[in-house]
Amino acid sequence: MNEKTLTLLVENESGLGPVFEVDPARYREAAARHPDVASRVRAVFSTDRDRFAQTIGEADALVGWVFPHRELDRLAPQLRWVHLTGAGVNHLAPFDWGPPGLVVTNNRGVHAPKAAEFAAAAALMIVNKLPRLVSRQWDRHWELDYSETIGGKTAGIVGVGNMGAAVAGACRTLGMRVLGMRRSGAPRPEVDHMFGPEELDVLLAQSDVVFLCTPLTDETRSLMDSARFARMKPGSGIVNLARGAVVDNDALRAALASGQVSGAILDVFDPEPLPADSPLWTTPNLIVTPHCSSDDAQSYVPRTLDLIFDNLRRLMTGQTLRGIVDPRLGY
């Protein structure tokens, strides 16, 4: 192992709230789980960039979410690695910034257990028509609305990365058949049948519950447009755990109004927070959760720090880091 002490700058964004704060106390707890690595790291904590400028010049590694990324090549000549504390990193695209040789990693996988639990809830809610029941409750309207058992229904996961695989696993546990779509089309054990991107319409036509778990890239922006909603199985439902801009929400509202789509649960929006005058708040058969589905209030940062320490160990020993963002793909 290289004996040099690494300087790690941890840049927190207070606007994200305490669930996402990589604070000194949580850092110390994680350091105790990884003493061999921690003894060779000097961590500096900055909030809203209050210690950013004075530290970035000597930093070997940066952990954060929002920072002046386009200035890093100038400000941070020593910087070897940036770890982003979220998974959907489209706000930093294109990935043409930073000093030469910089490796960027993201938090893929950290959300998996909580995303799986939320997906189980969402799948059951779509099959049980909860979005429609909630709309009726607001109208003080009571009506029997039978639904079938979830076993044997089909889930379609659009974007089977770490989160999509976790969602697939949860659907399997509930007895669903699971279809998936990913760029490579390569199989994964959690998915009964995997499609490539050109077969998305086949997946949509067969799925009772569609989960969106893709990153936001040029290829996935407005992926779910009116033509795609028309391809969905009539009466099926959709859950968006990806990014708001993956869905054309006007098209979604039309599909909900016609009944083509029976219900929707949206956790992500463009922009966020969802403006108070957005029609989505009151669209019938649509449930809004404010981007809090997949982040475990207790374990998000500890799991993030375990990933960071594992990558620090890899950095020190010259191994490939986990969760590298491919600059060409943008995720």
Q: Could you tell me which stretch among 38-46, 222-230, 254-262, 283-291 binds another protein (CB under 8 A)?
A: 283-291
Q: Could you tell me which stretch among 181-189, 210-218, 234-242, 295-303 binds another protein (CB under 8 A)?
A: 295-303
**Helix (H, G, I), strand (E, B), or coil: what is residue 283?**
coil
Rg, Å, the chain Cα set: 21
Distance CA 164, CA 167 (A): 5
β-partners of residue 157 are 180, 211
Nearer to another protein (CB atom), residue 135 or residue 236: 135
18: exposed, middle or buried (Cβ count in 10 Å: 0-12, 13-18, 19+):
exposed
Nearer to another protein (CB atom), residue 25 or residue 144: 144
Other beta carbons less than 10 A from residue 104's beta carbon? 21
Distance CA 188, CA 209 (A): 19
- Among residues 220, 240, 293, 304, which is the contact residue for another protein, using CB under 8 A? 293
Q: Which of 291, 313, 314, 322 is catalytic?
A: 291
93: exposed, middle or buried (Cβ count in 10 Å: 0-12, 13-18, 19+):
middle
Is 140 a binding residue for another protein by CB under 8 A? The answer is yes
Nearer to another protein (CB atom), residue 9 or residue 127: 127
Is 19 a binding residue for another protein by CB under 8 A? The answer is yes
- Among residues 103, 150, 157, 158, which is the contact residue for another protein, using CB under 8 A? 150
- Among residues 36, 148, 219, 250, which is the contact residue for another protein, using CB under 8 A? 148
Is 30 a binding residue for another protein by CB under 8 A? The answer is no
How many CA atoms are closer than 13 Å to the CA of 304, on its beta-carbon side? 27
Site for another protein in 151-180 (CB under 8 A): 151, 173-174
Is 227 a binding residue for another protein by CB under 8 A? The answer is no
Contact between residue 287 and residue 266 where contact means Cβ atoms under 8 Å apart: yes
Distance CA 226, CA 246 (A): 12
Nearer to another protein (CB atom), residue 44 or residue 245: 245
Asked about 143 being catalytic, the answer comes back as: no
Contact between residue 161 and residue 213 where contact means Cβ atoms under 8 Å apart: yes
Catalytic residues: 243, 272, 291
Residue ranges in contact with another protein by CB under 8 A: 17, 19, 113-114, 117-118, 120-121, 124-125, 127-128, 130, 133-134, 136-138, 140, 142-151, 173-174, 272-274, 276, 278, 281-282, 287-293, 295-300
